[in-house]
Each structure stands twice: as C-alpha cells, then as structure tokens.
Amino acid sequence: MKHVDYFKNFLENTVNLSKFRLDLLSQRVDTIYGLLKEDEHLGPLIKKKIPQGSWPQKTIISPQNGKAFDGDFMLQMAEQVDWALDLKKYGDAVYNVLHKKSPYKDMPHGRKCRCVYVNYANNAMHVDIVPFVIRADGFQWIINRDDNTWERTNTDGFTDWMKTKDKIAGSHLREVIRIMKFLRDHKNSFTGTKSILLTTLLGEQVEGWRKILDAGYYADLPTALVHIVSDLDKWLQANPTKPVIMDPSGSGTSFDHRWTQETYAYFRDRINAHAAEMKAAYNETDFDKSVKKWQELFGEDFKAPESSKSSGKYSTVGTGAGAAGAATVNLSGRAG
C-alpha cells in the first residue's frame, strides 16, 4: 500500500533538513563569502559564488545524530597566469584568509583535494568552498590539488539536469533521492556511495517515455520510489562490472574516481535488496502488514502524522481512487 501521508510525514519530520538549518547554512555561506570578498588581496580575484551539490539541488537531508550536514559553494576566481604551474595557489589563497581571520582561524579548517573546508562548533555544520575558474575556452574548471591539474565541471548544468528530471517525475525525484540518502546514512546501507553518484544514477532512470506507457508511473512519492529504485536495480543487475558514470551536465567529466569495484558491487547488492523490500511493502494489501514492511525498511519514524492518527486506519493511506486499497505494481527483473 502507498501510505502517502506516512511518506509526507516521514519526509517532513525525519528526512528533510529543517528550514532553520537551511537558513543558517545560507547565512553562514554569505558571511564566509563576505569575508573573502573584503580581503585586500583575495577580494579583487573573486567574481561570485554559486551554491553547489545537494543544497541547490534540494536533496540535502537531516544528518545523523552527532554528525555534521554539508553545504558546498563554488567560488569563482579570475584566472591567474602566474599560478599555472602551481594550481594549489587558488585553494591556498582562500585558506590563508580563513586561517588568519576570526572566527575561522579558531575553528577546524583545512584544505582537501578540491576545496577548502570549515567545520562549525559541535560538528553541527560543514562548509566546503570550491575555487573554480572560467578559462579562455568558456568552461568552468576546478582544481585537483593532489594532482595539480584542472578538472572541468558544470555546476549550473547539473542543477538544470536535476530540475528537468524532477519535473518529469512529477517533482518526486528529489524526494526519492532524499529517502535513499536516508537509507544510506541513517540505516547504514550502501555506505561508500557518494551522493553525486546516487543522485546521477537515480536521475538517469527517470524518462519521459515511461509516462507515455503508464501515465501514473510517477504519480506520487511511493509509486515514484518503487519505480525509480526498481528501474535502477534492473540497470545495475545488467552491469555486474563497475560502469563509467559520466557527469550528466555534459562537462565530459567522469565520476569513476568516486568509487571502486568493491563499493559498486556492494551498492548493486543493496539496491537489489531494497527494490524487493519496497515492492513487497507497496504491493501488500493488508494495511498493518504494509506499514510494518515499510517500517522494517525506514524505521519507526515512518508513521502517520499526528493529526490523522485518530481519524481511522484507512484515512491515512493517501488520496485518489485507489488510495485505500492495494497499489499493485508489476515489475520484472530480479527480486533479490
């Protein structure tokens, strides 16, 4: 059964990052950016900032207890010809400002391969600053500090791709991604799979032609979840060896370095198991048994909203002609 209102409650009160935290992230990014722009040496090199990753894509989720949530932003800098042989200088320039200015000099901060990071008190928030340059070819390039090389990227292109796929999926793709991130982070499933890979692989399964064959293919969140994860499972089972995953924005960049064959094989097995679990819960015609199967997957926080608990069992199954009954989906492929 679908339990649409259970899913809505689960997203709003367990999975999603709160508006307070989102606003705090935006405020802190603005403060960091303002500090960097005000620096007499670095400021003139900075052109603008662009939110990156799960933040602008609206796939950011509430973190596990005791762990930080991440917010990333791209920092456009003017290309410096005299840094061509030592590209680390872009990241170093950002790091040096934070390293000498309050309050960041007294906070955990440092440099990684492609970014400069700041950790906030009690490990509550983690911000990555990714320097990039628009070079003479008109493309965005970030710096691989470890290899001292340029890497092409297209931040706006990836976000636009996400918006297009989400529209096809009836605005449910982002919700599906957040739920799958919850399984990974809070239920310790397919650990080791980076968010960029999970987002890309789930998004690639969303196709407009599926709605031509079945207008209700992405009709609501549970239906979209079952279909997208099942379609991903079919694709994964057809690819036992780790495939090359390209950036869907068209940058020409491969995400191959993000995982190993071992990590891929584990992810493939876990998605196979989850696809079967989701279909079993979705197709279960007994209300209580269906809820229990969804809870076995997501935990006891998958429950009816408080306002509907006293309204009767079948008032919480969702809306629409088939809401109170079974929502059966027939899917081929391995069940796991």
Per-residue pLDDT of the chain in tens (336 residues, 90 and over written 9): 999 999 999 999 999 999 999 999 999 999 999 999 999 999 999 999 999 889 988 999 998 877 888 899 999 999 999 999 999 999 999 999 999 999 999 999 999 999 999 999 877 899 999 999 999 999 999 999 999 999 999 988 998 999 999 999 999 999 999 999 999 999 999 999 999 999 999 999 999 999 999 999 999 999 999 999 999 999 999 999 999 999 999 888 899 889 999 999 999 999 999 999 999 999 999 999 999 999 999 999 999 998 755 344 433 333 333 333 334 454 433 223
Q: How far apart are CA 126 and CA 120, in angstroms?
A: 6
**CB atoms near residue 214 (< 10 Å):** 12
Residue keyed to tokens 């010809």? 81
Give whole-number Cα distances, 199 to 6, 107, 114, 210, 266, in Å.
Answer: 23, 31, 20, 19, 17
Specify the pTM: 0.87
DSSP collapsed to 3 states, 289-326: HHHHHHHHHHCCCCCCCHHHCCCCHHHHCCCCCCCCCC
Q: How far apart are CA 132 and CA 228, in angstroms?
A: 33
Burial status of residue 136 (CB atoms within 10 A of its CB: 0-12, 13-18, 19 or more): exposed
Q: Which among 149, 121, 116, 110 is positioned nearest to 131, based on CA atoms?
A: 116
Q: State the DSSP H helix or E strand holding residue 273, giving kind and residue range, or none if neither.
A: helix 261-283
- Residue 155: its pLDDT value, please? 87
Q: How far apart are CA 94 and CA 88, in angstroms?
A: 10
3-state helix, strand, coil in the chain (%, to 5): 50, 15, 35
* Main-chain dihedrals φ then ψ at residue 109, nearest 5 degrees: -155, 160
Q: How far apart are CA 300 and CA 53, in angstroms?
A: 29
Residue keyed to tokens 């499933």? 189
299 φ/ψ sector (left φ>0, alpha ψ -120 to 50, else beta): left
Second-level CATH architecture of 17-154? 2-Layer Sandwich (3.30)
- Residue 257: its pLDDT value, please? 85
Q: How far apart are CA 132 and CA 46, in angstroms?
A: 10
Residue keyed to tokens 């061509």? 84
